[in-house]
Amino acid sequence: MDGMHGGMMMNGTGSMNSSSTVHKKRMMMHMAFYWGNTAEVLFTGWPGTRPGMYYLAIIFIFFLAIIVEWLSHSSFLTRSNSSDRVRVGLAQTVLYGLRSGLSYMIMLSVMSFNVGVFLAAVVGHTIGFFFFGSRVFKGNRDDSYVMSSPRKTTTNLPPMNC
Helix (H) or strand (E) holding 128: helix 115-132
pLDDT greater than 80 at residue 132:
yes
Instruction: Measure Cα distances from 112 to 25, 85, 92, 126, 128 in Å.
Output: 19, 41, 31, 20, 22
SS3 of 43-108: the string is: CCCCECCCCCHHHHHHHHHHHHHHHHHHHHHCCCCCCCCHHHHHHHHHHHHHHHHHHHHHHHHHHH
Given a contact cutoff of 8 angstroms between Cβ atoms, the answer to whether 73 and 159 are in contact is no
pLDDT greater than 70 at residue 160:
no
DSSP for residue 1: -
pLDDT-derived band of residue 141, with 50, 70 and 90 as boundaries? low
Tell me the mean pLDDT in the region 136-162.
57
Residue 126, Cβ density class (10 Å: 0-12 exposed, 13-18 middle, ≥19 buried): middle
What pLDDT shows up at residue 79? 63
What pLDDT shows up at residue 3? 43
What pLDDT shows up at residue 34? 76
pLDDT-derived band of residue 46, with 50, 70 and 90 as boundaries? confident
Q: What is the signed CA dihedral for 90, 95, 99, 105, rounded to 10 degrees?
A: 80
What pLDDT shows up at residue 40? 78
Which residue in 8, 35, 34 sits closest to 22, CA to CA?
Answer: 8
The residues pairing with 34 across neighbouring beta strands, listed in sequence order, are: 114
Residues 6-41: tens digit of each pLDDT? 454 444 455 555 555 545 555 566 777 778 777 778
46 vs 103, residue with greater confidence: 103
Tell me the mean pLDDT in the region 107-121.
91
What pLDDT shows up at residue 150? 46
pLDDT-derived band of residue 5, with 50, 70 and 90 as boundaries? very low
